Amino acid sequence: MEGHLPTQQMPFVWGDFNACGWAGGGDESIYALDRDALAAIPAKNGMAVFVWCGDETHTILGCIATLEHITLGAFIGWRAVPVAGTFYRGPIPAHLVGWPGA
């Protein structure tokens, strides 16, 4: 296990960690996010979320991130900007068991 899950209450949003850095120049933001989850929150600029994706069997990886609504070329939507020092890799939390992507 690496890191810790967030201790404060925040939404968990699935994200594709392979869809990072579209802005270039060291950008580590995550751009492919679960749109249904973002709509259900509802997402707001500056909101903290825990972005996660399935890793190995029975584990996830993720981090706390700040949501930003942006226009980047033809892309208009949300990105999640990771907060330094919040990376987690470990067991799937009980509330995510059975979710697609977990």
User: What's the 3-state SS for 49-91?
Assistant: EEEEEECCCCEEEEEEEEEEEEEECCEEEEEEEECCCCCEEEE
pLDDT of residue 37: 94
pLDDT of residue 25: 77
Return the domain boundaries, the chain. 12-91
pLDDT of residue 102: 60
pLDDT of residue 68: 95
pLDDT of residue 78: 95
pLDDT of residue 58: 85
pLDDT of residue 100: 66
Exposed (0-12), middle (13-18) or buried (19+): which is 99, by Cβ within 10 Å?
Answer: middle
Q: Consecutive 10-residue runs of the chain (102 residues): their mean pLDDT?
A: 88 89 80 94 96 89 95 90 94 80 61
